[in-house]
Structure 1
Amino acid sequence: MTTNRELTYLDYNASAPLREESLLALQEAYKAAGNASSIHASGRRARSIIEDARHKIAELVDGIPANVIFTSGASEANVTALSPTWLKNGEPYILTQVFVSAIEHPSVIGGGRFAPQNVQSIPVDEAGRVMVDELRVMLEQLGKDETVLVSVMAANSETGVLQPLREIGVLTEELGHIFHVDAVQMAGKEPISMAMIGCNSMSISSHKIGGPQGVGALILGKGDFRPIPLLTGGGQESWRRAGTENTAGIAGFAVAAAQSTDPAEHARISRLRDHMEERLKQISPEAIIFGEDVPRLGNTTCFAVEGISAETALINFDLFDVAVSSGSACSSGKVGASHVLLAMGVPESLARGAIRISLGWATNNDDVERFLSAWTKIYKRMKPTQKG
């Protein structure tokens, strides 16, 4: 995607540019007054927008429209799901612990509403995939009266590596535990089905697929089984999340969801990524692409060259008007060693050099070529000198 400054934006996993159609939906919704809880015509119009959006969001993940709960974003959705108390047919259902994979988003890895001593980490292999056999051991070692919540992301935001969700879903169901999936990075980029996975809840985000920021959803599985609300006080979202719904944001979210499921578009982006990686390795043969040999999102590349600092490289990319990310960039904007790569066994010195490129709906071949041109100059300037 370009602007007058020829900005090359390749940081879609952080936030995708707003789709024009989503912007139009936002504008139309903002023009109209109305609270979806009101019974007059304006309120009914807002309610209609929200209910239509519920169907589009459910279609995105093969879920149930009535089980879509709109939130302020995926972090809120995750923290809502990560509750030690759920309701089963209206009665409290107590979870004693939460097991989270070692590569989760910060909103999950902290354990949500569970006490710190009740949070356990599930190990991953060198490719960053959850070790299902290790998870089985952890679950089988629990006491007879213990029920846990297992939370695993669908696809990693840094490496794009896909998780064995179906295997985890079968395991948790077999042993009688709860399964939550953070599908923020996968929804709208690869096909995903709650029904096939067998999870109890799933979180997704609007701005990762070209919708507006500040809106997301928690989608529940089958049956009357849900976490106790994080926000209470009103009857919105069927008493599952208090607060007036963000009607305009939800309208834009729905449009982005409907537009992000085109298989031809996914294939186009994947071809661009593969071409970029091929040229990247020609320019810098010693570059290591993390997760290269396992299934990944078709839009994501995370790589490093030993001896090249990600922080310095990012500054140089910015000077070339190329927006990419460090695999370890956090809310403070500082660059450190990625907890994801460290969990994969990557040496800290290499992890500190990780650079993530993520493509999306507006990315074209010119964007990729501008990135490669910038990387060629940066690599020649920064590559370590050969010793001996």
Structure 2
Amino acid sequence: MIQTKPMIYLDHNATTPVCKEVLEAMPELATAWGNASSIHWAGRGPKNIIRDARKAVADAVGASTLEIIFTVGGSEANNTVIKGVFEYFQTAQHLPPEQRRRTHYMCSAVEHPAVFKTMMHMKSLGVRVDVIPVNRRGEIDMKFYEEHLCEETALVSVMFANNETGTLFPIKQMAEMAHAKGALFHTDAVQAFGKVPVNLHELGVDFASFSGHKFYSIKGSGFLYSRKGSNFSPLIHGGAQERHRRGGTENTLGIGCLGVVASRANLIAEKVKSMTLLRDHMEARILSEISEVTVTASETPRLPNTSALVLKGADGETMLMSLDLKGYAVSTGAACSSGNPEPSPVLLAMGLTRDEAQNSLRISLGWETTLEQVDSFVDTLKAVVDRLRSLKKEEEGDSCHV
């Protein structure tokens, strides 16, 4: 009898499988092919789908429907805020001169490239950008933040949760501090929804970005939260869609799928509990059964599904490929950086050495991950690490005799 290897997916921070409810809803959603801007019969179905999805999404994240702007994903939402706030402050003639002089921006050192590289683009345009350091535990330097916030600060952008370590940041406190200086606050919340409860009105942020494929919907769909009264210039000009804030014919299928998942938001608390128990069980086994392993940011509040490991003497890329051959999907860092031979900028920014960063592995669990899958993964990881360390010792021994 031919034995097949298990196919176990443990890379949910990169993307998530499309959930059963979305797959079941897609055929009907796809039949609504009309343009939602049309006033005849073909536009009414798409318009209703978008309206219902907007209500479901708004309710799921603690917002009002008028504060939701549909996008193609998190990167577009991030770019919209960072570039749009800058353009608004520069061109809004009704603003007093002191407002138009707000050309100072801030972000953390561990932001996703969709924020960090956009901030560096703004810097190339002459904008002053301060990067807030983090420590080895992944905690943000609040003293630096407080000292560099000023009357010229236009926007602060700090992620809700880090995609590589799972570290959660004090967003509510940081937003309050920004507002005290008259600055706007944006959070990249792409990794948060589906893993922790999110209430944007309670957080007090002005903007927040989300991406559908990170919470069991389809790729090419996402949304931007823009608090009432928070102004920006649109990134995409065109028609009157999204109340003139994002031009372009709406992606009815993608938006409808977002609504399907958002309507299941009441399940998140239950999923948080199960993922936390599985992650803690996995880490306990790894730490007790594999020597010289550390869990990055383990003493810091973090997402319930994320575990970033440093396994001394085992190269991360080699571990990833070895596990892949055995049917396990994990990561060495951000999926958008795959193929880059350099170690993770996030881990280096936290103060890990290059060797530590190169010996890292990220495991991110999902809603459907089981105890059996986790145990199977740990057993396989033990064997892979033992083999890699033995090979390394042999290589070092041979080099001593040369």
Same fold at TM > 0.5: yes
Give how far 1:32 is off.
2.6
* 1:124 aligned onto 2:130: no
Equivalent position of 1:264 in the other structure: 270
Is 1:196 the counterpart of 2:196 in the alignment? no
Q: What fraction of aligned residue pairs are identical, expressed as a percent?
A: 39
Equivalent residue for 1:249? 254
How far did residue 194 of structure 1 move?
Answer: 1.4
- 1:275-297 CA-to-partner distances (Å, cap 9, x unmatched) read 11111112213111111001110
Question: Equivalences for 1:266-281 in 2 at 5 Å?
Answer: 266-281=272-287
The answer to whether the 8 Å contact 1:180/1:200 transfers is yes
Cα deviation, 1:9-58, whole Å, max 9, x if unaligned, reads: 00100000000111222221112321111112221111111111111111
Equivalent-residue separation in structure 2 for 1:286 and 1:260 (angstroms): 39
Structure number with greater Rg is: 2
Change (3 A) 1:23 1:297: same
3-state SS of paired residue (1:302): strand
Give the aligned length.
380
Q: Does 1:184 align with 2:190?
A: yes
Aligned match of 1:336 = 342
How far does the alpha carbon of each residue in 1:106-156 deviate from its partner, in whole angstroms, 9 at most, with x for none?
01002356243423211112211221221110114xxx5x23210000000
2:118 to 98, 111, 132: 111
- Change in 2 beyond 3 A, CA 1:329/1:207: closer
CA distance in 1, matches of 2:341, 2:66: 41
RMSD of aligned alpha carbons? 2.1
Give 1:264 deviation, angstroms.
Answer: 1.4
- Are the counterparts in 2 of residues 132 and 167 from structure 1 also a CA contact under 8 Å? no
Unaligned ranges ≥5, structure 1: none
Q: Quick one: distance in 2 between partners of 1:211 and 1:30?
A: 14
Q: 1:5 to 1:36 in 2, by over 3 A?
A: farther
> Which range moves more in the overlay, 309-318 or 48-57?
48-57
Distance 2:199 2:92 in 1: 24
TM-score (norm 2): 0.89
Once residues 266 and 340 of structure 2 are traced to their aligned partners in structure 1, the CA distance between those partners, rounded to angstroms, is 34
Q: Which residue of 1 aligns with 2:400?
A: none
How do 1:177-326 and structure 2 match up within 5 A? 177-223=183-229, 225-262=230-267, 263-326=269-332
TM score, norm. by length of structure 1: 0.93
Return the offset for 1:385: 4.5
Query: 8 Å contact 2:12–2:214 — kept in the other structure?
Result: yes
User: Does the 8 Å CA contact 1:189/1:261 hold for their aligned counterparts?
Assistant: no
Q: After the TM superposition, which residues 82-97 of structure 1 pair with which residues of structure 2 at under 5 Å, given as runs?
A: 82-83=82-83, 84-86=86-88, 91=94, 94=100, 95-97=102-104
Whole-angstrom distance in 2 between the partners of 1:360 and 1:86? 39
- The ranges of structure 1 where at least 4 consecutive aligned residues each deviate by more than 6 angstroms after the TM superposition are 87-90
